[in-house]
Amino acid sequence: MSVTNNSQTQAPFSKTRRTTAPTHSAETLQSWLVERLAKHLDVPPQEIDIQRSFASYGLGSMSAVRLSGELESHLGRTISPTLTWDFPTIEQVAAHLASER
């Protein structure tokens, strides 16, 4: 029995891997954070003010760390669990993360 190889010659597999996460604009980060915070607080997104501190919404340490973890998963990069203390508003978090490259 003869075996026929029907495969065609293909370009070698590229070993180049993306090592950096895609960048996001401050506006898209703000929108994402508004949606996530609204979900955590069980309020409509329209009630979230991007210039109001996370603490003023009663976001406790466990919720803040959980939000940072969700953001880390969303962005595909490491995020400090203290992000919401270092940058206490959605506007500040988004501007900080958008400026990091």
Question: How do residues 5-59 score in pLDDT, each as one tens digit?
Answer: 444 444 443 343 344 445 689 999 999 999 999 998 999 999 999 999 999 999 8
**Domain residue limits at 45:** 26-99
- Is 97 exposed, middle or buried (CB count within 10 Å of its CB: 0-12, 13-18, 19+)? buried
Number of structural domains in the chain: 1
Largest CA distance in the chain: 77
Q: What is the CATH number of the domain that holds 88?
A: 1.10.1200.10
pTM over 0.85: no
Query: Which pair of tokens denotes residue 83?
Result: 């992000």
Question: How do residues 64-94 score in pLDDT, each as one tens digit?
Answer: 999 999 999 999 999 998 999 999 999 999 9
